[in-house]
């Protein structure tokens, strides 16, 4: 197909106008946001939800478990379930900032689309693939992304046109090289779907003691199969996944609610303050107090 002249120039121009400074910017299209960063960064920890993240400029890298993923201009990251990661901006400058558009994937819209289109069920051996992958965006996907961002300048058209273009983007992903990952997550009797249900349970109950046999039974799997498939999809064991959830929440409690380390650690399920401090330092590279003090200084400077 024929794309408009210089599609990247156009999409970057639009993104720069609607993300006028560094940070994450929500748009008038509900599940679309634009990220802009003007400098490379140190690793930052967060959880990625199911989304399509398309890099328009610059480059980014992240760590999922013990794996490293890099992606840059023209690449899109597909995340098919909630995953805790450490990410950093790898290439950016004030003149050429890192720009990325993110489109959240709505599970109900995904299931509704799958009910209306004829996409072959993935082969059994593809079940249990990583819940995160990178691909080069084909021209059709880039074209749809350009048309979606153009709507930001025509807000009156958003209610009618945005759902159609979002559906097109989802269709392009589903029929692309890694669409089977999304299909497996959405398919009720697949192992990946069971792992997604386990992840949802862990997010709601991360402060509770983790008993693998009980969680495996909750999602109708044997303990050995559950452990194997959980690591295949998330690149972490269930215990490692729970630990990251706990530490991310403890950090939020200290930064936002200003709890002390001991209280925050206990709130997320740690019985031993020394174990909490040790595991926190291993993840964030500093003790809870030093890390939080440093983060507050950075936040104050940004203000």
Whole-number pLDDT of residue 117: 85
State the Cα–Cα distance between residues 151 and 161, nearest whole angstrom: 8
State the Cα–Cα distance between residues 43 and 201, nearest whole angstrom: 27
Q: What is the pLDDT along the chain (303 residues), one digit of tens a residue?
A: 444 445 689 999 999 999 999 999 999 999 999 999 999 999 999 999 999 999 999 999 999 999 999 999 999 999 999 999 999 999 999 999 999 999 999 988 998 998 898 877 666 556 668 999 999 999 999 999 999 999 999 999 999 999 999 999 999 999 998 888 888 888 877 888 999 999 999 999 999 999 999 999 999 999 999 999 999 999 999 999 999 999 999 999 999 999 999 999 999 999 999 999 999 999 999 999 999 998 888 777 665
State the Cα–Cα distance between residues 89 and 39, nearest whole angstrom: 7
Whole-number pLDDT of residue 204: 95
Q: Where are the alpha helices (DSSP H) in 128-157?
A: 139-150
State the Cα–Cα distance between residues 4 and 174, nearest whole angstrom: 24
Q: Which H, E and C letters describe 276-293, residue by residue?
A: HHHHHHHHHCCCHHHHHH
The rounded Cα 217 to chain-centroid distance in angstroms is 27
Whole-number pLDDT of residue 5: 45
State the Cα–Cα distance between residues 118 and 105, nearest whole angstrom: 20
Whole-number pLDDT of residue 124: 59
Whole-number pLDDT of residue 2: 44
Whole-number pLDDT of residue 123: 64
Radius of gyration of the chain (CA): 20
Query: Which residues have a Cβ under 8 Å from the Cβ of 154 and sit 6 or more positions away?
Result: none
Question: pLDDT (tens digit, 9 = 90+) per residue, 4-34?
Answer: 445 689 999 999 999 999 999 999 999 999 9
Whole-number pLDDT of residue 178: 87
């Amino acid at each position: 197909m024929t794309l408009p002249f210089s599609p990247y120039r156009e999409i970057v121009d639009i993104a720069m106008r609607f993300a006028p400074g560094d940070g994450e910017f929500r748009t008038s299209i509900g599940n679309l946001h634009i990220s802009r960063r003007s400098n490379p960064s140190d690793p930052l920890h967060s959880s990625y939800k199911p989304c399509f993240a398309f890099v328009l400029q610059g480059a980014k890298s992240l760590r999922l478990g013990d794996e490293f993923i890099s992606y840059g201009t023209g690449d899109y990251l597909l995340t098919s379930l909630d995953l805790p990661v450490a990410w950093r901006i790898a290439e950016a400058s004030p003149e050429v900032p890192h720009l990325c558009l993110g489109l959240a994937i709505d599970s109900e819209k995904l299931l509704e689309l799958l009910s209306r289109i004829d996409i072959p069920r993935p082969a059994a051996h593809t079940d249990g693939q990583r819940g995160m992958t990178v691909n080069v965006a084909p021209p059709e996907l880039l074209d749809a992304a350009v048309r979606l961002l153009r709507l930001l300048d025509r807000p009156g058209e958003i209610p009618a046109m945005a759902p159609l273009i979002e559906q097109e983007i989802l269709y392009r992903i589903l029929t692309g090289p890694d669409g089977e990952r999304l299909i497996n997550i959405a398919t009720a009797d697949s192992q990946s779907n069971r792992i997604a249900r386990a992840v949802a349970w862990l997010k709601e109950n991360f402060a509770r003691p983790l008993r693998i046999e009980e969680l495996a039974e909750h999602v109708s799997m044997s303990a050995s199969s559950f452990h194997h498939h959980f690591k295949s999809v998330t690149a972490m064991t269930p215990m490692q996944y729970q630990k990251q959830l706990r530490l991310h929440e403890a950090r939020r409690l200290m930064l936002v609610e200003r709890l002390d380390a001991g209280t925050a650690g206990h709130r997320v399920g740690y019985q031993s303050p020394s174990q909490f401090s040790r595991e926190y330092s291993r993840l964030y590279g500093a003790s809870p107090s030093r890390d939080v003090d440093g983060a507050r200084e950075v936040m104050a400077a940004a203000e």
